[in-house]
């Protein structure tokens, strides 16, 4: 295979991986809207794996994917969707916290803090300059 063919395949894999990550973000949006914490937790784990694969794929293509119009637009969409989901999840966590404020702290679900911690970790990987 030629180097050009290899690069083309690596770039296509990057785009596919980016599209898969975007689909996970859409699923996460729905889970947040439905306030389904178990589904959110499951998606967060999948997003962690997806993000790792995506970053490896980006590193393997050997150039800045933002130089490609299609990739640049998709990257912007993914970042915007991630920001909206982070905001929505924060609102959900705040709502859940306020809802349980009158309940003894021992009865509070530990998933809230786990979700928040996992989400902040995934956001910092996408936007490392925000650390």
Mean pLDDT, all residues of the chain: 85
CB 54 within 8 A of CB 15: no
For the whole model, what pTM was predicted? 0.75
Q: Tell me: pLDDT of 112 over 60.
A: yes
Task: Report the CATH number that the domain containing residue 35 is assigned in CATH.
Answer: 1.20.58
Q: Nearest Cα to 43, choosing from 127, 123, 126, 118?
A: 118
Number of domains in the chain: 1
Question: For 4-23, what is the mean pLDDT?
Answer: 93
pLDDT, tens digit, 9 for 90 and up, residues 43-85: 999 999 999 999 999 999 999 999 999 999 999 999 999 999 9
Paired tokens of 25: 């973000």
Other C-beta atoms closer than 10 Å to the C-beta of 100 total 14
With a CB cutoff of 8 Å and minimum separation 6, the contacts of 74 are 15, 18, 19, 22
Query: Which residues form the domain of 67?
Result: 3-130
């Amino acid at each position: 295979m030629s180097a050009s063919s290899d690069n083309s395949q690596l770039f296509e894999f990057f785009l596919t991986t980016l599209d898969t990550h975007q689909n996970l973000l859409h699923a996460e949006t729905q889970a947040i809207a439905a306030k389904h914490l178990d589904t959110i937790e499951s998606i967060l784990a999948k997003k962690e794996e997806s993000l790792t694969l995506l970053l490896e794929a980006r590193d393997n293509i050997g150039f800045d994917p933002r130089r490609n119009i299609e990739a640049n637009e998709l990257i912007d969409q993914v970042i915007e969707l991630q920001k909206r989901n982070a905001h929505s999840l924060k609102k959900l966590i705040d709502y859940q916290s306020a809802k349980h404020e009158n309940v003894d702290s021992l009865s509070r679900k530990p998933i809230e803090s786990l979700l928040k911690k996992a989400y902040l970790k995934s956001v910092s990987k996408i936007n490392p300059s925000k650390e």
